[in-house]
């Protein structure tokens, strides 16, 4: 079969509005020469040029392999996902393209990353009843909020910025995986005005509400059995400015269902939680939702004070991992993963990391971020605990430097790991 001639024939059919005929030709070509040089790139390019975006995904998604088919076809598929406003699938495709480590594509791929980030605040419809937001500096309400939404964080938050080192940092993901989402915690009985809380510099409870799901998602990412995401809430006000959203009520089954429906490939489990305080004690109750029956399968609880936080949080993580059969596996590649020696300090680092990440993407204003000095001071003493601690320290500093928020901080020792050395060169170069 003359593949080139058949592709020209298919394009002529597209130009004459014969989509069915073109698709029949494409089926024939793919069956005979699907891995041929430029075949998928030509098919996806011609479909895109003639306005047939869904068909690009129908043909490409089951077949595309970056190693066999090259970046051109992958970029066409990524653009199709963006055109259809599917940031989850677009992010996955961007990750695949970054794995190719092609310097000549770096600027273009960074542009796609920015487009995906901007799209995340439009992924999900209203999560909560629309509220009258507060004009900063005033107690008078103005026009209602446009929408509340979720940002889906599909990798450990400290990994972003290290995409060139993905194969060395992250474990391989193969086979049938269980998909789980860790939703931002609800915070009850803490804020008199939850609407205002998200527009002010974040406090301890707002930070914990985001960092605990990020920590658990990170832990599960290093298990060979799971593909996790963390779902972080935000609100876009009528003036176009986005802010962190404080969830002041427990997740309902309807909200869990909408979270599941917002994902491209569905979920098997969702974990939600409610964080409260009582006379100096933090109280957390977390629930595992089984998506198939949309029911709560298990509850976990933890109470802690300032002096007991590390022990209580470490025990909570162990209980959840034991029940969900989640165990990090060093045999899956990537850097070794172990639970942090001080969970409370680690949560502070993750909270700052997500805040800086969102600010760097232009989603959150810098004014809602907590000061970085205390976090840097605490983590400087722990940056050498593991390769992951060192990588998290390096990406934190890189983001802070880019936003001109880098505080005076000691230069700590880092883990003696070649991946850490490569990351340092990459981020500081």
Q: Do 146 and 93 share a structural domain?
A: no
Residue that is last in its domain, among 88, 120, 152: 120
User: 42-78, pLDDT tens digit by residue?
Assistant: 999 999 889 899 899 888 887 888 778 888 988 999 8
Which pLDDT belongs to residue 308?
Answer: 95
Which pLDDT belongs to residue 195?
Answer: 76
Q: Do 376 and 271 share a structural domain?
A: yes
Q: Do 408 and 317 share a structural domain?
A: yes
Average pLDDT over residues 384-392: 94
Which pLDDT belongs to residue 147?
Answer: 57
Which pLDDT belongs to residue 408?
Answer: 76
Q: Do 352 and 421 share a structural domain?
A: yes
Average pLDDT over residues 117-129: 49
- Averaged pLDDT of the chain: 85
Q: Do 420 and 283 share a structural domain?
A: yes
- Please tell me the total count of domains within the chain: 2
Residue from 230, 232, 234, 252 nearest 243 by CA: 234
Sign of the dihedral through C-alpha 135, 140, 146, 152: positive
Residue 332: pLDDT band with limits 50, 70, 90: low
Residue that is last in its domain, among 120, 144, 165: 120
Task: Judge contact between 365 and 127, C-beta under 8 A.
Answer: no
Task: Judge contact between 56 and 64, C-beta under 8 A.
Answer: no
Q: What is the CATH number of the domain that holds 65?
A: 1.25.40
Q: Do 357 and 306 share a structural domain?
A: yes
Tokens of 108: 């273009």
User: 10-42, pLDDT tens digit by residue?
Assistant: 999 999 999 989 999 998 988 888 888 889 999
Which pLDDT belongs to residue 142?
Answer: 32
Name the range with the highest mean pLDDT among 145-159, 329-343, 414-428: 414-428
Which pLDDT belongs to residue 303?
Answer: 96
Residue that is last in its domain, among 120, 148, 174: 120
Q: Do 80 and 136 share a structural domain?
A: no
User: 257-297, pLDDT tens digit by residue?
Assistant: 988 888 877 899 999 999 998 877 999 999 999 999 999 99
Which ranges constitute the DSSP H helices of 156-306? 166-169, 194-197, 204-221, 253-261
Q: Do 180 and 89 share a structural domain?
A: no
Q: Containing domain of residue 131, as a range? A: 123-428
Average pLDDT over residues 221-242: 85
Q: Do 36 and 185 share a structural domain?
A: no
Q: Do 382 and 245 share a structural domain?
A: yes
Which pLDDT belongs to residue 136?
Answer: 29
Residue 238: pLDDT band with limits 50, 70, 90: low
- Write the CB contacts of 272 (distance below 8 Å, at least 6 apart in sequence): 183, 185, 186, 250, 251, 256, 286, 287, 289
Q: Do 387 and 336 share a structural domain?
A: yes
Lowest mean pLDDT of 79-93, 392-406, 410-424, name the range.
79-93
Which pLDDT belongs to residue 429?
Answer: 64
Which pLDDT belongs to residue 183?
Answer: 96
Lowest mean pLDDT of 140-154, 184-198, 221-235, 338-352, name the range.
140-154
Q: Do 128 and 110 share a structural domain?
A: no
Which pLDDT belongs to residue 330?
Answer: 60
**Residue 396, class by beta-carbon neighbours within 10 Å (0-12 exposed, 13-18 middle, 19+ buried)?**
buried
């Amino acid at each position: 079969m003359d593949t080139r001639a058949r592709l020209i024939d298919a394009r002529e059919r597209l130009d004459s509005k014969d989509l069915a005929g073109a698709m029949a030709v494409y089926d024939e070509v793919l069956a005979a020469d699907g891995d041929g040089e430029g075949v998928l790139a030509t098919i996806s390019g011609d479909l895109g040029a003639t306005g047939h975006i869904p068909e690009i995904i129908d043909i490409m998604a089951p077949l595309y392999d970056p190693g066999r088919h090259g970046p051109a076809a992958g970029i066409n598929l990524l653009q199709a996902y963006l055109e259809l406003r599917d940031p989850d699938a677009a992010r996955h495709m961007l990750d695949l393209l970054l794995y190719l480590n092609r310097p000549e594509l770096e600027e273009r791929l960074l542009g796609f990353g920015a487009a995906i980030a901007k799209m995340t605040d439009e992924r999900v419809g209203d999560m909560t009843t629309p509220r009258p937001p507060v004009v900063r500096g005033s107690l008078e309400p103005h026009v209602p909020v446009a929408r509340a939404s979720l940002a889906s964080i599909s990798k450990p938050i400290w990994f972003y910025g290290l995409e060139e080192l993905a194969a060395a940092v992250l474990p391989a993901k193969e086979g049938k995986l269980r998909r789980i989402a860790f939703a931002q915690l609800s915070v009850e009985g803490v804020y008199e005005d939850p609407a205002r809380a998200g527009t002010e510099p974040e406090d301890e409870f707002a930070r914990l509400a985001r960092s605990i799901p990020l920590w658990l998602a990170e832990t599960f990412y290093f298990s060979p059995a799971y593909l996790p995401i963390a779902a972080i809430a935000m609100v876009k006000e009528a003036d176009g400015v986005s802010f962190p959203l404080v969830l002041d009520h427990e997740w309902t089954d309807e909200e869990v269902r909408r979270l599941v429906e917002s994902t491209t490939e569905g979920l098997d489990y969702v974990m939600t939680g409610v964080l409260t305080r009582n006379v100096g004690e933090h109280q957390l109750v977390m629930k595992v939702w089984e998506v198939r029956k949309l029911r709560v399968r298990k509850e976990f609880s933890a109470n802690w004070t300032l002096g007991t936080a590390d022990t209580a949080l470490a025990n909570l993580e162990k209980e959840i991992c034991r029940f969900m059969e989640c165990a990090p596996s060093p045999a899956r590649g990537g850097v070794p993963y172990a639970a942090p020696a001080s969970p409370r300090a680690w949560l502070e680092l993750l909270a700052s990391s997500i805040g800086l990440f969102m600010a760097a993407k232009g989603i959150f204003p810098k004014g809602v971020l907590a000061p970085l000095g205390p976090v840097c001071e605490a983590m400087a003493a722990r940056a050498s605990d593991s390769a992951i601690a060192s990588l998290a320290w390096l990406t934190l500093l890189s983001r802070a430097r880019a936003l001109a928020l880098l505080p005076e901080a000691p230069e700590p020792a880092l883990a003696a790991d070649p991946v850490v050395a490569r990351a340092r060169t990459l981020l500081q170069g």
